[in-house]
Amino acid sequence: MSALVVKDLCKAFGGLRVTRNVHLNVEPGERRLIIGPNGAGKTTLFNQITGELRPSSGTVSLLGRDITRAPSRVRAHLGLARTYQIITLFARDTILRNVTLALLGLSPLRWNPFVSFDRQRALLDRAEAALSQVGLAHLKDRPLSQTSYGERRRVEIAMALAQEPKVLLLDEPFAGLSVDERQDISRLLGSISRDVTMVMIEHDMDIALGFADRITLLHFGEVIAEGTRAEVVSDPRTREVYLGH
């Protein structure tokens, strides 16, 4: 059973067709890279997979289950997590609180008005473990507004990992980072267990190619090439629309 299947997915904003008959079949544990020039519809595709956008037609299934009509919160409970291209964190809260909130989203405690959130040891321990994994444990009490861009990227990843997703969508996790930070994030992503299926949108070919088992090339909302790293890189269409040679 595939981890994530997208079939015949179409999305149009008025006359603008941003997703055109996209097919995607991601196996469990696979690392899939989605590349494409700006405006190829990569993030729009992610938004349809996570439920933030309704597709015009087509289906999305997660672990064999049709989730095309499910709201994003239900998809989160089924094991889908994502990071955002434009960081959307809780700026007024501490790093630890951000990650704990991610855990709260999947916990029945989120409805509880009677206990103290700060005393939920089990949640806090798991949040701290996720922060250790991304190397931010020592900054856990720092308010998010006082962190660097690179640290925020890691908080993004920690929040997604804390939820122990089965399928993790990463939307340009290297965007805006320095060379050193890119290597840190790359190592971090490399350390994630193969129990987690990962789909990544990325522009940085040097780093992203090393990550991918398979690559999908999107152009004007259409899949124009798909295959192993070598196949897609050597594909003349890739060179034409993306690598620019």
Nearer to other proteins by Cβ, of 147 and 238: the residue is 147
Does residue 121 interact with other proteins by CB under 8 A? Answer: no
> What residues between 36 and 55 interact with other proteins by CB under 8 A?
50-52
Residue of 17, 59, 68, 90 interacting with other proteins (CB under 8 A): 90
Cβ at position 51, least distance to other proteins in Å:
8
Does residue 230 interact with other proteins by CB under 8 A? Answer: no
Does residue 116 interact with other proteins by CB under 8 A? Answer: yes
Does residue 76 interact with other proteins by CB under 8 A? Answer: yes
**Residue range at the interface with other proteins (CB under 8 A); choices 12-20, 59-67, 76-84, 194-202:** 76-84
Does residue 88 interact with other proteins by CB under 8 A? Answer: yes
Residue from 169, 177, 172 nearest 208 by CA = 172
Does residue 216 interact with other proteins by CB under 8 A? Answer: no
Residue 95 contacts residue 136 (beta carbons within 8 Å): yes
**Residue range at the interface with other proteins (CB under 8 A); choices 20-28, 35-43, 105-113, 180-188:** 105-113
**Residue range at the interface with other proteins (CB under 8 A); choices 54-62, 85-93, 196-204, 236-244:** 85-93
Does residue 120 interact with other proteins by CB under 8 A? Answer: yes
Nearer to other proteins by Cβ, of 36 and 165: the residue is 165
Residue of 111, 138, 180, 244 interacting with other proteins (CB under 8 A): 111
Distances (CA, A) of 31 to 51, 170, 187, 215: 21, 11, 14, 9
Residue of 71, 176, 190, 210 interacting with other proteins (CB under 8 A): 71
Kindly report the three-state secondary structure assignment for every residue of the chain.
CCCEEEEEEEEEECCEEEEEEEEEEECCCCEEEEECCCCCCHHHHHHHHHCCCCCCEEEEEECCEECCCCCHHHHHHCCEEECCCCCCCCCCCEHHHHHHHHHHCCCHHHHCCCCCHHHCHHHHHHHHHHHHHCCCHHHCCCEHHHCCHHHHHHHHHHHHHHCCCCEEEEECCCCCCCHHHHHHHHHHHHCCCCCCEEEEECCCHHHHHHHCCEEEEEECCEEEEEEEHHHHHHCHHHHHHHHCC
Binding positions for other proteins, rule: CB under 8 A: 50-52, 71-73, 76-77, 81-82, 84, 88-94, 97, 101-102, 104-107, 109-118, 120, 141-143, 146, 159, 163
